[in-house]
Structures are given as structure tokens and as C-alpha cells.
């Protein structure tokens, strides 16, 4: 079955330029040219494109490209190792989410403690060292409205109170769990206003649901990859 670039693009729901980009990246096998210089695609190219499109949501465009390029280079072992690596990375993310959930649950108890936190205020460098992060991260969190350190008179140095230090620890744990600022903000607001952990539980539940969605997407993509590899061996 002969397919023009526009035919292939329509079947896959992409632009003709994207089809050319995919071929250049190795997502598609090389296409022969007609005597007039036009690319000539066939069913194999359509299957490759649909396989890549199925892989990308779960594995990500970069890893999906690596997998398909390895297949077309004749290195199925490399393609399968890339699949394994993506599954392993997702498993590590699940473990990180579980660990963050446990740590955050314990840290959230501090918000329910009626006793005020004691201890000295810290400078930005001191707090960064305590958390094991860069000072630039604290400044980004401040710009995002998550932290509001006071300024030292005369020097204008940032000073983080015990309450700010507590908040920074919560933010750091959430960031390690790959939570975005939009997810962190309601967690902090709920803890600060009422001591409620409802937003925290919702954020963790959504993170776990996202892992589940990605796993299902990876399974779908892997199924098409399995079929594609089988057709190449026939």
C-alpha cells in the first residue's frame, strides 16, 4: 500500500512536517524515494508512527524516540533495555511518592501541635544547607509565594523563622516527590489555616493516580511495540 506523506499524516493525526521530523529522528524506518524525489511510505511506516504515538504518552517523547530508533537500527536489545529503564524509573517514582507521603504525614503533625516552634531564625545559606538544596531553590519558592522570609535590617539578608523553616521542609519533601507549585500551595494553605491535611492527602492521591495512568499508558504502548516487533520478524 503506497502512502504519500499527507496520507500518513492524516492516518496518524499529525502534520506532514512532523512526519518528516519523525523520519529524520529514526522514529520511522527510512522511506524510499520515487524517481521524482518524493518519499514513498507504506503500511510499515504507518505502523511505526502509530506505535510511536502510543509509546509517547507513557514513556515520554525522548524515550519513545530512543526505542523506535533502536528498533530501526536493528538493535532490539537496546530498545527493550530502554523499555525496562522507563518502567524502573516509574517504580522509583512510586517509591518516592510513598516515602514522601509518610514523611509528610509525620511533618504535618507539627502543624497540629499547639506549642509554637522554637529555635533561631536561619539565613538563606544556613537553611539551604540544612535541607540539602541550593539557595536558588529557596528564592524560587519565595518568588512563587510559598515562603515569605523577613529581611534583616541594615543587611537586607533573608531570615527564616522557625515557622518558615517548617514550611520549607514541607515544600522540599513535596518537591522531591515531584509535586508542582500549584499542588503545594493548597497543601500549605490548608495546614497553615486550619491544620487540615485534606489537601495533602488529595495531592498524594493525585500523584499516585498519575502513576497509575502512566503505567496504563506504558502498557498500551508496549502492546503496540510488541506487535510492531512481531511484524518486523515475519
Taking only the tens place, the pLDDT of each residue in 99-138 is 777 766 666 665 555 455 567 889 999 999 999 999 999 9
Q: Are 22 and 49 in contact (CB under 8 A)?
A: yes
**5-86+215-233 is a CATH 1.10.1660.10 domain:** yes
The DSSP bridge partners found for residue 122 are 160
Q: Which grid coordinates are listed for 169?
A: 521542609
In tens, the pLDDT along 19-67 reads 999 999 999 998 888 777 788 899 999 999 999 999 999 999 999 999 9
| Cβ contact 17:3 at 8 Å | no
Q: If you average pLDDT over residues 168-181, what whole number do you get?
A: 85
Closest of 154, 88, 152 to residue 126, by C-alpha: 152
CATH number belonging to domain 89-212: 1.10.1660.10
Instruction: Give the span between the Cα atoms of 184 and 215, in whole angstroms.
Output: 24
Q: Residue 10 to residues 14, 152, 215: CA-CA distances in angstroms?
A: 6, 62, 28
Which part of the chain is CATH 1.10.1660.10? 5-86+215-233, 89-212
Amino acid at each position: 500500500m503506497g502512502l504519500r506523506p499527507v496520507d500518513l499524516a492524516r492516518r496518524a493525526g499529525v502534520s506532514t512536517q512532523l512526519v518528516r521530523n519523525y523520519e529524520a529522528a529514526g522514529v520511522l524506518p527510512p522511506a524510499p524515494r520515487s524517481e521524482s524525489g518524493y518519499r514513498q511510505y507504506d503500511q510499515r511506516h504507518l505502523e511505526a508512527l502509530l506505535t510511536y504515538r502510543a509509546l509517547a504518552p507513557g514513556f515520554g517523547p525522548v524515550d519513545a524516540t530512543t526505542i523506535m530508533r533502536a528498533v530501526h537500527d536493528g538493535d532490539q536489545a537496546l530498545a527493550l533495555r530502554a523499555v525496562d529503564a522507563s518502567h524502573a524509573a516509574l517504580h522509583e517514582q512510586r517509591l518516592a511518592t510513598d516515602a514522601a507521603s509518610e514523611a509528610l504525614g509525620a511533618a504535618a503533625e507539627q502543624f497540629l501541635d499547639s506549642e509554637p516552634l522554637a529555635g533561631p531564625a536561619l539565613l538563606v545559606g544556613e537553611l539551604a544547607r540544612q535541607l540539602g538544596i541550593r539557595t536558588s531553590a529557596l528564592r524560587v519558592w519565595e518568588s512563587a509565594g510559598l515562603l515569605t522570609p523577613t529581611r534583616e535590617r541594615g543587611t537586607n539578608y533573608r531570615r527564616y523563622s522557625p515557622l518558615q523553616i517548617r514550611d520549607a521542609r514541607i515544600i522540599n519533601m513535596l518537591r522531591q516527590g515531584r509535586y508542582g507549585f500549584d499542588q503545594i500551595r493548597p497543601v500549605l494553605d490548608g495546614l497553615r489555616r486550619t491544620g487540615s491535611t485534606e489537601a495533602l492527602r488529595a495531592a498524594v492521591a493525585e500523584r499516585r493516580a498519575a502513576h497509575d495512568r502512566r503505567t496504563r499508558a506504558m502498557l498500551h504502548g508496549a502492546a503496540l511495540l510488541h506487535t510492531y516487533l512481531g511484524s518486523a520478524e515475519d
